[in-house]
Each structure stands twice: as C-alpha cells, then as structure tokens.
Structure 1
Amino acid sequence: MAKTLVIYYSRKGQNYVNGNIVDLPKGNTEIVAEFIQKAVGADLFEVETKKSYALDYTQCTIEAKEELRNNDRPELVKLLDSVAEYDHIVVAGPCWWGTYPVAVFTQLEALDFTGKKVFPIMTHEGSGMAGAPAALQKYCQGAVVGEGLAIQGAAAAGSEAKVTAWAKKNLA
C-alpha cells in the first residue's frame, strides 16, 4: 500500500457555514483530514502559523485577502522538511479567496515533490475545488496532481463515507 501524508490547514472557531457565522470546536478541514487518516492510515501534518489569525471571522477574511494580495508567506510553528518517505501527499485546506491559505504555500515551497503524486482537497461553502489543483501544479514542482475532492464545510462532519470512498480509490 502507498504511504500517504495529509498536509492540512484548518480553522476552528468562527467560520462561515450555510450563510451564518458559527463557532466550530474543530475545523472542517481537520475533520476531513482525520477521515482520510482513518480510511488509509495516512500521517497528518497540520500547518500552524506563529501569528494567529483574528478570532473574528470577518477580520480573518480581511487578513487572508491581504496576505494573498501581498503574496505573503507567514512563519509557521513547525516546518516539515521532507516528504521523501511518502508516495502520496494530500494537501487540504479551506478555500480562502479562491485558493489555499497562504500559510500552506509557506510549507509547500519548503519541500521537494519530485516523483510524488499530490491530491488537492478543498473545504468550502460554495467554491468547490476553486484554484486548489492549479496551486498544487505551481507549488509542488515535479509532482503529478491527482484527482481532488471538494467537501462543503457545512457537510464535513457527515462526509466520512464520501471521503473514505475517495481515499480508497485514490490513495490505497
């Protein structure tokens, strides 16, 4: 069986869900990452920024838009330095302004993806995959981008069967 790593960023606390701002004890992307781990025995690596985003959802979206506009690379709590032992790397995150949070790019730019297969996962509230596949083409040089999966954030907790089916089809 192929060895899989899930690199993910997830936001708990205030999130946009079905048109409302709600407080989530666990981020939607983390839930999806854990379903993949359970389905195929994947390792998990959470991307965490040293400087926290605003707790207020609206303010966080302003910060995220500014980071994207400035092409920022936030400093991370821990930087993964190699994916050499993995065959498949899943890159999972919420859709922020049409792509991953830029902290994900901080991590991806530090890695060598030559000969790897990468898979985009996007949690969203209506954007679908958005720019996730294109981002992996850009930031995972030398990798082949595989079939992605979009999960509506509001449906994340109930998406285990869908995520498991995708994981077994693509990662096993």
Structure 2
Amino acid sequence: MNESLSRRTLLTAGLTGITAVAAVLTGCTAEQRPQESPATGERTPRTPDPERTTVSGSRVLLVYFSRAGENYYYRGRRDLEVGNTEVLAGMISDRIDCVTYEIEAADPYPDAYDPTVERNRREQRDDARPAIANPLPDVSGYDIVLLGSPVWNMRTPMIMSTFIEGLDLAGKTILPFVTYAVSGMSGIDDDYRDALPDSEVRDGLAIQGETVAEAAPDLDTWLSANNLV
C-alpha cells in the first residue's frame, strides 16, 4: 500500500510494491506450503528441516509474508501474480542454504488493493493479531531467522506480530528484509528490536517493490555483510 496507513503497533508493512517476478525457492528448501494427503485430500503442513545449514555452518530459517493481487505501482496500480516480498525471498533462497516458511493468513487478504488498505488500517487500530493458516515452525534448530514482509502504513503487517509472538526467538540472530513503496525501512528493524529484546536484530534490507527484480546488488551486499555468502 502507499503511505496512507499509520505506524507503531509493531510490524505492519506498506502494501507497497508487493511483487512481480515468480520466486520458485531453490537454494532454500521450500518447506512452507502444505501438501495434500493423497488418501484424505486434507492439507498436511510440512515442517522445516533444521539440518539445512549455510556455508558458514549456521542453520538458517527464511520466513516471509507476501501479498499478490492488485498492488501499488508508481502512484498507480498493477496486478501481480507473485508478491514483491516473495520475489525477494526467492532471490535470497537462490543465494544461501536455508529452509523457508511462508506466513499465510487464515483469513486471506483481498486481491483488491483498497480493501486490503482498509483491513490493514483496522488491524493496526485494533492492535490485531491475524491468525496464521499453518502451524508455526519449530525454530529451536535454527541460529538465524530472516523475517521478510512488505511495509504497510509505515509498519509490517500485523500478522508479523502474530508470528514473532508465537515463537521463542530468544538467542536467535534476526535479519529483517522488506519491500516498500515510498517508506524505506521505516524503522522496522528497530520495531523488531523492541519486540525481541533477547534476540540480536541486525540492520534490515529495504527494497522498493517496483524495482525488486533489480535488487541483486543491494541484496548481495547485505547478505555478504551478514556473512551469509
């Protein structure tokens, strides 16, 4: 969304640039999407494997929330098949050894832009914690957790608060990354520091959603600075 939302309920981010390039997560194992049981047709969530390691020996979990559909685009709108944050997550997974977990809302956000903006405003105002569709991952086997989301109204979406409050991230190294329309990082790494005082939250990476496909140089610099490549 553009900057017509508001700030400070920890983690809600602008439906700003939310996607354009399909991200088939390869470097990371795509453990986040539930699979249908051939016998029952029910969806059985897959659990991340903590044995996956980075080249440095640290076990890494890549977590992201993304939204496709109608998105903000240079003061206008465009429809995206893959959200901008998912595109960036895919670029990360192509570069490092990790496991991925996609945060999916139990009550999916609308495909249309304006209704999503309105819902986000309500959730921020109410300090809501939207439910997550799938079971949360077991993070005990991971040293580093990358947290990705869009920036909605100067914050991450409230569902990111649902995620971090539902797990014990004490002692983990947290690496935030966001896609945005005009806000930049918007202090989201500081929000995580406030919310996760027992974790090491490092400086985040902010990529404008409209330019995410060209983000490789900034992404590589950030990953290198954090000893992931």
2:139 to 78, 83, 94: 83
CA deviations 1:47-93 (Å, max 9, x no partner) are 10111112210110110011011011111111324311111111110
How far has the Cα of 1:171 moved from its partner? 4.4
How does the TM-score come out when normalised to structure 1? 0.94
Q: Which residue of 1 aligns with 2:77?
A: 21
Which has the larger displacement, 122-131 or 74-83? 74-83
Deviation at residue 113 of structure 1 after TM alignment: 1.2
Please say if 1:167 is aligned against 2:216.
no
Which runs of structure 1 show a deviation greater than 6 angstroms over 4 or more consecutive aligned residues?
none
Q: In 2, Cα distance between the equivalents of 1:106 and 1:171? A: 28
Q: Displacement, 1:42? A: 2.0
Where does 1:129-140 land on structure 2 (aligned, <5 Å)? 129-140=185-196
Structure 2 distance, partners of 1:125, 1:89, is 24
The one-letter amino acid of 1:166's match is W
Q: Percent of aligned pairs with the same residue? A: 30
Q: Is the 8 A contact 1:32 1:160 kept in 2?
A: no
Larger-Rg structure: 2
Match of 1:118 among 174, 179, 182: 174
Aligned counterpart for 2:208 among listed residues 152, 155, 164: 152
Report the TM-score, using the length of structure 2 for normalisation: 0.71
Q: Distance in 2 between matches of 1:7 and 1:135?
A: 17
Q: Which aligned pairs between 1:56-95 and structure 2 lie closer than 5 A?
A: 56-95=112-151
Greater RCO (CA < 8 Å, at least 6 residues apart): 2
- List alignment gaps of at least 5 residues for structure 1: none
> What is the Cα-based RMSD across aligned positions, in Å?
1.3
Between 130-139 and 82-91, report the one with greater CA deviation: 130-139
The alpha-carbon distance between structure 1 residues 82 and 141, as it changes in their structure 2 partners (threshold 3 A), is: farther
CA distance in 2, matches of 1:43, 1:81: 10
Structure 2 contact 68–111 (Cα < 8 Å) conserved: no
- Equivalenced residue count is 172
User: Could you tell me how far apart the structure 1 residues matched to 2:199 and 2:103 are?
Assistant: 20
Q: 1:35: Cα distance to partner?
A: 1.1
Point out the structure with the larger helix share.
1
Preserved CA contact (<8 Å) 1:28 1:153: yes
Specify the code of the residue in structure 1 equivalent to 2:69. G
Structure 2 gaps, min length 5: 1-55
